[in-house]
Amino acid sequence: MYRPRIGIVIGTTREGRFGETPAQWILDVASGQTDLDFEIVDLREYPLSFLGEPKSTGAGDYGHSDPGSRWTMEMARFDGYVFVTAEYNHSISGVLKNAIDHLGSEVHNKPAAFVGYGGVGGVRAVEQLRLVCIELQMAPTRTAVHIGMEPYMGVSREGKELRDFDSLNRKARAMLEELSWWTHTLKAGRKEAAGTEERIEEILGFWFGQEGDPGYGEFRKAWFSAEPDFDREIRDRFLATYVEAREGKLDRWQHEPRGALALVILLDQFPRNVFRNSPGMYETDEKARSVADSALSKSCDKQLPAFQRWFLYMPFLHSENLADQHKATELFEAVEHGSNGSGPGDWHLRTIERFGRFPHRNEILGRESTPEEIEFLEAQNTTKQEA
Protein backbone atom coordinates (compact mmCIF):
# COMPACT_ATOMS: atom_id res chain seq x y z
CA MET A 1 0.00 0.00 0.00
CA TYR A 2 1.25 3.50 -0.83
CA ARG A 3 2.21 5.44 2.27
CA PRO A 4 2.82 9.17 2.17
CA ARG A 5 6.51 10.04 2.33
CA ILE A 6 8.08 12.41 4.79
CA GLY A 7 11.53 13.94 4.28
CA ILE A 8 13.57 14.59 7.43
CA VAL A 9 15.77 17.47 6.34
CA ILE A 10 19.10 17.97 8.13
CA GLY A 11 19.42 21.75 8.15
CA THR A 12 23.18 22.13 8.76
CA THR A 13 26.20 20.92 6.83
CA ARG A 14 29.31 21.94 8.78
CA GLU A 15 31.90 19.36 9.72
CA GLY A 16 31.25 17.92 13.16
CA ARG A 17 27.64 19.10 13.13
CA PHE A 18 25.19 17.90 15.73
CA GLY A 19 22.31 17.88 13.21
CA GLU A 20 22.67 14.25 12.20
CA THR A 21 21.97 13.01 15.72
CA PRO A 22 18.45 14.48 16.11
CA ALA A 23 17.62 13.53 12.50
CA GLN A 24 18.55 9.91 13.12
CA TRP A 25 16.67 9.91 16.44
CA ILE A 26 13.49 11.27 14.79
CA LEU A 27 13.80 8.60 12.13
CA ASP A 28 13.93 5.98 14.90
CA VAL A 29 10.93 7.43 16.73
CA ALA A 30 9.11 7.63 13.39
CA SER A 31 9.49 3.90 12.83
CA GLY A 32 6.50 3.63 15.20
CA GLN A 33 4.45 5.77 12.83
CA THR A 34 3.29 3.03 10.49
CA ASP A 35 1.09 5.16 8.25
CA LEU A 36 4.00 7.19 6.88
CA ASP A 37 7.40 6.46 5.30
CA PHE A 38 10.31 8.55 6.50
CA GLU A 39 13.65 9.27 4.83
CA ILE A 40 16.54 11.49 5.78
CA VAL A 41 17.41 14.27 3.33
CA ASP A 42 20.92 15.57 3.92
CA LEU A 43 21.69 19.06 2.62
CA ARG A 44 25.33 17.97 2.32
CA GLU A 45 24.28 15.98 -0.72
CA TYR A 46 23.02 19.16 -2.38
CA PRO A 47 25.89 21.66 -2.35
CA LEU A 48 23.78 24.49 -3.73
CA SER A 49 25.29 27.75 -4.82
CA PHE A 50 23.61 30.88 -3.55
CA LEU A 51 20.52 31.49 -5.54
CA GLY A 52 21.57 32.93 -8.86
CA GLU A 53 18.86 31.71 -11.18
CA PRO A 54 17.45 34.29 -13.57
CA LYS A 55 13.81 33.22 -13.20
CA SER A 56 11.33 35.07 -11.03
CA THR A 57 10.21 33.91 -7.62
CA GLY A 58 6.97 31.99 -7.26
CA ALA A 59 7.18 30.62 -10.78
CA GLY A 60 8.44 27.31 -9.48
CA ASP A 61 11.30 27.68 -11.91
CA TYR A 62 14.19 27.81 -9.53
CA GLY A 63 16.78 25.13 -9.26
CA HIS A 64 17.41 24.44 -12.91
CA SER A 65 21.06 23.72 -12.39
CA ASP A 66 22.41 20.63 -10.81
CA PRO A 67 22.38 20.17 -7.80
CA GLY A 68 19.49 22.64 -7.66
CA SER A 69 17.34 20.45 -9.85
CA ARG A 70 18.18 17.35 -7.80
CA TRP A 71 17.23 19.19 -4.63
CA THR A 72 13.90 20.49 -5.94
CA MET A 73 13.05 17.11 -7.46
CA GLU A 74 13.93 15.40 -4.20
CA MET A 75 11.70 17.72 -2.19
CA ALA A 76 8.90 17.27 -4.73
CA ARG A 77 8.83 13.54 -3.94
CA PHE A 78 7.66 14.09 -0.38
CA ASP A 79 4.22 14.65 1.08
CA GLY A 80 5.54 16.42 4.18
CA TYR A 81 8.72 17.41 5.97
CA VAL A 82 10.45 17.40 9.33
CA PHE A 83 13.03 20.18 9.40
CA VAL A 84 15.83 19.52 11.85
CA THR A 85 17.31 22.91 12.56
CA ALA A 86 20.09 24.37 14.65
CA GLU A 87 19.92 27.92 15.91
CA TYR A 88 22.55 30.13 14.29
CA ASN A 89 22.43 33.69 15.60
CA HIS A 90 18.80 33.33 16.62
CA SER A 91 17.77 32.02 13.23
CA ILE A 92 18.15 29.02 10.97
CA SER A 93 21.41 28.29 9.15
CA GLY A 94 22.12 30.17 5.93
CA VAL A 95 22.46 26.81 4.19
CA LEU A 96 18.91 25.83 5.08
CA LYS A 97 17.43 29.20 4.14
CA ASN A 98 19.23 29.13 0.79
CA ALA A 99 17.99 25.61 0.11
CA ILE A 100 14.43 26.58 0.97
CA ASP A 101 14.71 29.64 -1.28
CA HIS A 102 15.29 27.25 -4.19
CA LEU A 103 11.87 25.70 -3.66
CA GLY A 104 8.51 26.67 -5.07
CA SER A 105 5.32 24.83 -5.81
CA GLU A 106 6.97 21.49 -5.01
CA VAL A 107 6.26 22.12 -1.33
CA HIS A 108 2.96 23.97 -1.56
CA ASN A 109 0.15 22.60 0.58
CA LYS A 110 2.37 20.15 2.38
CA PRO A 111 2.95 20.06 6.15
CA ALA A 112 6.18 20.90 7.93
CA ALA A 113 7.18 19.84 11.44
CA PHE A 114 10.28 20.99 13.35
CA VAL A 115 13.04 19.71 15.57
CA GLY A 116 15.16 22.53 16.95
CA TYR A 117 18.32 22.36 19.04
CA GLY A 118 20.62 24.85 20.71
CA GLY A 119 20.87 26.84 23.93
CA VAL A 120 17.11 27.33 24.22
CA GLY A 121 16.09 24.38 22.12
CA GLY A 122 16.36 26.27 18.84
CA VAL A 123 13.06 27.99 19.69
CA ARG A 124 13.86 31.21 17.83
CA ALA A 125 15.11 29.36 14.78
CA VAL A 126 11.98 27.23 14.65
CA GLU A 127 9.72 30.25 15.04
CA GLN A 128 11.43 31.93 12.12
CA LEU A 129 11.37 28.78 10.06
CA ARG A 130 7.62 28.52 10.58
CA LEU A 131 7.19 31.94 8.97
CA VAL A 132 9.39 30.97 6.04
CA CYS A 133 7.37 27.79 5.57
CA ILE A 134 4.11 29.71 5.62
CA GLU A 135 5.39 31.94 2.85
CA LEU A 136 6.09 28.81 0.83
CA GLN A 137 2.50 27.69 1.40
CA MET A 138 3.48 24.86 3.70
CA ALA A 139 1.40 24.09 6.76
CA PRO A 140 3.59 24.21 9.89
CA THR A 141 2.57 22.00 12.80
CA ARG A 142 2.02 23.63 16.18
CA THR A 143 3.88 20.93 18.06
CA ALA A 144 7.64 20.98 17.65
CA VAL A 145 10.51 19.28 19.46
CA HIS A 146 13.02 21.52 21.21
CA ILE A 147 16.25 19.91 22.29
CA GLY A 148 17.53 22.26 24.98
CA MET A 149 20.85 22.63 26.75
CA GLU A 150 20.52 19.60 29.03
CA PRO A 151 19.92 16.91 26.41
CA TYR A 152 22.20 18.74 23.94
CA MET A 153 25.11 18.68 26.41
CA GLY A 154 24.15 15.22 27.65
CA VAL A 155 24.51 13.83 24.14
CA SER A 156 27.46 15.98 23.04
CA ARG A 157 29.54 15.60 26.20
CA GLU A 158 28.25 12.80 28.40
CA GLY A 159 27.66 9.97 25.98
CA LYS A 160 23.90 10.01 26.43
CA GLU A 161 21.41 9.45 23.64
CA LEU A 162 18.37 11.50 22.75
CA ARG A 163 16.12 8.50 23.27
CA ASP A 164 17.19 8.56 26.95
CA PHE A 165 15.06 11.68 27.39
CA ASP A 166 11.43 10.67 27.88
CA SER A 167 10.03 14.13 27.53
CA LEU A 168 11.67 14.44 24.11
CA ASN A 169 10.35 11.07 22.99
CA ARG A 170 6.83 12.04 24.05
CA LYS A 171 7.05 15.37 22.30
CA ALA A 172 8.39 13.74 19.15
CA ARG A 173 5.53 11.23 19.08
CA ALA A 174 2.96 14.00 19.57
CA MET A 175 4.54 16.02 16.78
CA LEU A 176 4.55 13.06 14.41
CA GLU A 177 0.90 12.35 15.22
CA GLU A 178 0.05 15.89 14.30
CA LEU A 179 2.22 15.69 11.19
CA SER A 180 0.46 12.49 10.19
CA TRP A 181 -2.98 14.12 10.44
CA TRP A 182 -1.87 17.07 8.34
CA THR A 183 -0.08 14.87 5.84
CA HIS A 184 -3.15 12.74 5.15
CA THR A 185 -5.53 15.68 5.22
CA LEU A 186 -3.50 17.85 2.89
CA LYS A 187 -2.75 14.95 0.59
CA ALA A 188 -6.47 14.29 0.27
CA GLY A 189 -7.04 18.00 -0.27
CA ARG A 190 -4.40 18.18 -2.97
CA LYS A 191 -5.84 15.12 -4.61
CA GLU A 192 -9.35 16.49 -4.53
CA ALA A 193 -8.13 19.79 -5.90
CA ALA A 194 -6.31 18.23 -8.77
CA GLY A 195 -6.52 14.45 -8.62
CA THR A 196 -3.04 14.89 -9.90
CA GLU A 197 -1.52 11.45 -9.78
CA GLU A 198 -4.62 9.71 -11.08
CA ARG A 199 -5.07 12.21 -13.87
CA ILE A 200 -1.46 11.96 -14.96
CA GLU A 201 -1.69 8.17 -14.96
CA GLU A 202 -4.98 8.28 -16.88
CA ILE A 203 -3.42 10.37 -19.65
CA LEU A 204 -0.27 8.27 -19.86
CA GLY A 205 -2.26 5.03 -19.62
CA PHE A 206 -4.49 6.16 -22.47
CA TRP A 207 -1.64 7.28 -24.69
CA PHE A 208 0.89 4.53 -24.06
CA GLY A 209 -1.27 1.71 -22.70
CA GLN A 210 -0.45 -0.11 -19.48
CA GLU A 211 2.88 -1.70 -18.74
CA GLY A 212 2.55 -5.40 -19.52
CA ASP A 213 -0.07 -4.85 -22.24
CA PRO A 214 0.80 -6.34 -25.63
CA GLY A 215 2.61 -3.72 -27.70
CA TYR A 216 3.40 -1.53 -24.70
CA GLY A 217 6.39 0.66 -25.50
CA GLU A 218 6.02 0.17 -29.24
CA PHE A 219 4.90 2.59 -31.91
CA ARG A 220 1.09 2.97 -32.04
CA LYS A 221 -0.50 3.65 -35.39
CA ALA A 222 -3.24 5.83 -33.88
CA TRP A 223 -0.66 8.37 -32.74
CA PHE A 224 0.11 9.67 -36.19
CA SER A 225 -2.87 8.80 -38.35
CA ALA A 226 -6.30 10.39 -38.58
CA GLU A 227 -8.68 8.03 -36.82
CA PRO A 228 -12.02 9.67 -36.00
CA ASP A 229 -12.80 7.25 -33.14
CA PHE A 230 -9.48 7.93 -31.50
CA ASP A 231 -9.98 11.70 -31.88
CA ARG A 232 -13.48 11.45 -30.42
CA GLU A 233 -12.31 9.46 -27.45
CA ILE A 234 -9.67 12.09 -26.68
CA ARG A 235 -12.26 14.82 -26.92
CA ASP A 236 -14.72 12.98 -24.67
CA ARG A 237 -12.21 12.05 -22.03
CA PHE A 238 -9.71 14.87 -22.00
CA LEU A 239 -11.13 18.08 -23.42
CA ALA A 240 -11.89 19.54 -19.97
CA THR A 241 -8.41 18.63 -18.80
CA TYR A 242 -6.93 20.18 -21.93
CA VAL A 243 -8.72 23.45 -21.17
CA GLU A 244 -7.32 23.45 -17.64
CA ALA A 245 -3.84 22.84 -19.03
CA ARG A 246 -4.24 25.63 -21.56
CA GLU A 247 -5.21 28.01 -18.77
CA GLY A 248 -2.10 27.08 -16.81
CA LYS A 249 -4.04 25.37 -14.03
CA LEU A 250 -1.95 22.22 -14.33
CA ASP A 251 1.44 23.92 -14.54
CA ARG A 252 2.58 22.29 -11.34
CA TRP A 253 2.60 18.93 -13.16
CA GLN A 254 5.78 19.97 -14.95
CA HIS A 255 7.97 19.51 -11.91
CA GLU A 256 8.25 15.77 -12.18
CA PRO A 257 8.89 13.60 -15.25
CA ARG A 258 5.54 11.80 -15.67
CA GLY A 259 3.58 14.96 -14.92
CA ALA A 260 5.61 16.95 -17.44
CA LEU A 261 5.13 14.25 -20.06
CA ALA A 262 1.35 14.11 -19.47
CA LEU A 263 1.17 17.89 -19.69
CA VAL A 264 3.09 17.94 -22.97
CA ILE A 265 0.82 15.25 -24.42
CA LEU A 266 -2.19 17.29 -23.32
CA LEU A 267 -0.89 20.51 -24.86
CA ASP A 268 0.93 19.21 -27.91
CA GLN A 269 -0.68 15.93 -29.00
CA PHE A 270 -4.32 16.06 -27.94
CA PRO A 271 -5.16 19.33 -29.73
CA ARG A 272 -3.84 17.78 -32.96
CA ASN A 273 -6.52 15.12 -32.60
CA VAL A 274 -9.35 17.12 -31.09
CA PHE A 275 -9.03 20.19 -33.32
CA ARG A 276 -7.85 18.40 -36.43
CA ASN A 277 -7.61 20.76 -39.44
CA SER A 278 -8.49 23.84 -37.43
CA PRO A 279 -6.28 26.52 -35.85
CA GLY A 280 -6.89 25.04 -32.38
CA MET A 281 -4.39 22.34 -33.34
CA TYR A 282 -1.54 24.76 -32.79
CA GLU A 283 -2.93 27.03 -30.13
CA THR A 284 -0.99 25.55 -27.23
CA ASP A 285 2.20 24.67 -29.12
CA GLU A 286 4.13 27.46 -27.48
CA LYS A 287 2.97 26.50 -24.02
CA ALA A 288 3.86 22.87 -24.73
CA ARG A 289 7.33 24.00 -25.72
CA SER A 290 7.78 25.97 -22.56
CA VAL A 291 6.70 22.97 -20.45
CA ALA A 292 9.10 20.74 -22.41
CA ASP A 293 11.89 23.28 -21.94
CA SER A 294 11.31 23.43 -18.22
CA ALA A 295 11.19 19.62 -18.00
CA LEU A 296 14.45 19.30 -19.94
CA SER A 297 16.16 21.86 -17.74
CA LYS A 298 15.34 19.59 -14.81
CA SER A 299 16.52 16.50 -16.74
CA CYS A 300 13.03 15.01 -16.50
CA ASP A 301 13.55 13.32 -19.89
CA LYS A 302 16.43 11.23 -18.54
CA GLN A 303 14.02 9.57 -16.13
CA LEU A 304 11.62 8.42 -18.83
CA PRO A 305 11.94 5.42 -21.16
CA ALA A 306 12.92 6.24 -24.74
CA PHE A 307 9.45 5.78 -26.25
CA GLN A 308 8.02 8.31 -23.79
CA ARG A 309 10.91 10.73 -24.10
CA TRP A 310 9.98 11.03 -27.75
CA PHE A 311 6.77 12.84 -26.87
CA LEU A 312 8.49 15.21 -24.50
CA TYR A 313 10.62 16.30 -27.47
CA MET A 314 7.75 16.64 -29.97
CA PRO A 315 7.00 20.32 -29.21
CA PHE A 316 10.39 21.24 -30.68
CA LEU A 317 9.67 19.21 -33.81
CA HIS A 318 6.35 21.02 -34.14
CA SER A 319 7.96 24.42 -33.87
CA GLU A 320 8.32 26.76 -36.83
CA ASN A 321 11.50 28.12 -35.32
CA LEU A 322 14.75 26.90 -36.81
CA ALA A 323 16.62 26.82 -33.49
CA ASP A 324 13.90 24.56 -32.06
CA GLN A 325 14.24 22.28 -35.10
CA HIS A 326 17.97 21.93 -34.49
CA LYS A 327 17.25 21.20 -30.85
CA ALA A 328 14.71 18.52 -31.90
CA THR A 329 17.28 16.93 -34.23
CA GLU A 330 19.79 16.75 -31.41
CA LEU A 331 17.29 15.36 -28.91
CA PHE A 332 15.87 12.73 -31.25
CA GLU A 333 19.34 11.64 -32.31
CA ALA A 334 20.25 11.07 -28.68
CA VAL A 335 17.10 9.08 -28.00
CA GLU A 336 17.52 6.96 -31.12
CA HIS A 337 21.07 6.29 -30.19
CA GLY A 338 19.94 4.90 -26.86
CA SER A 339 16.98 2.90 -28.12
CA ASN A 340 17.88 1.57 -31.58
CA GLY A 341 14.59 3.06 -32.69
CA SER A 342 14.11 5.33 -35.63
CA GLY A 343 13.35 8.99 -35.12
CA PRO A 344 11.06 11.26 -37.10
CA GLY A 345 13.67 11.95 -39.80
CA ASP A 346 14.65 15.39 -41.01
CA TRP A 347 11.51 16.40 -42.91
CA HIS A 348 10.57 19.04 -40.34
CA LEU A 349 14.02 20.56 -40.18
CA ARG A 350 14.36 20.70 -43.95
CA THR A 351 10.92 22.25 -44.35
CA ILE A 352 11.62 24.99 -41.82
CA GLU A 353 15.06 25.61 -43.29
CA ARG A 354 13.47 26.10 -46.67
CA PHE A 355 10.27 27.99 -45.86
CA GLY A 356 10.59 29.19 -42.25
CA ARG A 357 7.16 27.64 -41.64
CA PHE A 358 5.15 24.52 -42.37
CA PRO A 359 3.30 25.20 -45.62
CA HIS A 360 0.75 22.50 -44.64
CA ARG A 361 -0.51 24.81 -41.95
CA ASN A 362 -1.12 27.74 -44.26
CA GLU A 363 -4.66 26.87 -45.24
CA ILE A 364 -5.67 25.97 -41.68
CA LEU A 365 -4.20 29.15 -40.26
CA GLY A 366 -5.45 31.39 -43.07
CA ARG A 367 -1.94 32.11 -44.33
CA GLU A 368 -1.41 32.69 -47.98
CA SER A 369 0.88 30.17 -49.63
CA THR A 370 3.66 31.30 -51.90
CA PRO A 371 3.90 29.70 -55.38
CA GLU A 372 6.94 27.81 -54.14
CA GLU A 373 4.97 26.45 -51.19
CA ILE A 374 2.08 25.43 -53.42
CA GLU A 375 4.47 23.55 -55.65
CA PHE A 376 6.01 21.92 -52.60
CA LEU A 377 2.61 20.85 -51.25
CA GLU A 378 1.58 19.38 -54.56
CA ALA A 379 4.82 17.52 -54.90
CA GLN A 380 4.48 16.09 -51.40
CA ASN A 381 1.03 14.79 -52.24
CA THR A 382 0.33 14.25 -48.59
CA THR A 383 -1.43 16.34 -45.99
CA LYS A 384 1.15 15.83 -43.21
CA GLN A 385 -1.65 16.89 -40.91
CA GLU A 386 0.05 16.95 -37.59
CA ALA A 387 3.14 18.85 -38.65
Ligand X SMILES: Cc1cc2nc3c(=O)[nH]c(=O)nc-3n(C[C@H](O)[C@H](O)[C@H](O)COP(=O)(O)O)c2cc1C
Where does this chain bind ligand X (CB under 6 A)?
A: 12, 14, 17-19, 86-90, 118-120
Closer Cβ to ligand X, 157 or 302, answer by number? 157
Shorter beta-carbon distance to ligand X: residue 109 or 128: 128
Strand residues in 47-144 grouped as ranges (E): 80-86, 111-117, 139-140
CB of 43 or CB of 264, closer to ligand X: 43
Rounded CA separation 322/330 (Å): 13
Minimum distance from residue 210 beta carbon to ligand X (Å): 47
CB of residue 12 to ligand X, shortest distance in Å: 4
Which segments of 212-361 does DSSP mark as H helices, in order? Answer: 228-246, 257-264, 270-274, 285-297, 306-317, 322-339, 347-355
CB-nearer residue toward ligand X: 13 or 241: 13
Q: Which CB atom, from 21 or from 351, has the smaller least distance to ligand X?
A: 21
Q: How far is the CB of 160 from ligand X (least distance, A)?
A: 15
**Least distance (Å) between residue 152 CB and ligand X:** 7
Q: Which is nearer to ligand X, 120 or 174 (CB)?
A: 120
Least CB distance to ligand X at residue 42 (A): 12
DSSP 265: I
User: Could you tell me which of 290, 313, 331, 294 has the C-alpha nearest to residue 72?
Assistant: 294
The enclosing H or E element of 38 equals strand 37-42
Least separation in angstroms between residue 25's CB and ligand X is: 13
Phi first, then psi, for residue 242 (nearest 5°) are -60, -45
Output the smallest distance, CB 127 to ligand X, in A: 12
| Cα 324 to chain centroid, rounded | 23
Compute the least distance from the CB of residue 236 to ligand X, in Å: 56
Name all contacts of 19-23 with Cβ < 8 Å and 24+ positions apart: 19/84, 19/86, 19/117, 21/155, 21/162, 22/84, 22/115, 22/117, 22/145, 22/147, 22/162, 23/84, 23/115
The secondary structure element, H or E, covering residue 25 is helix 20-30
Q: Which is nearer to ligand X, 115 or 179 (CB)?
A: 115
Nearer to ligand X, 148 or 259 (CB): 148
Q: Spell out the alpha helix ranges (H) of 140-299.
A: 149-158, 166-194, 196-208, 228-246, 257-264, 270-274, 285-297
Rounded Cα distance between 125 and 118, Å, is 9
End-to-end CA distance of the chain: give it in Å, rounded.
Answer: 43
Element (H, E) at 41: strand 37-42
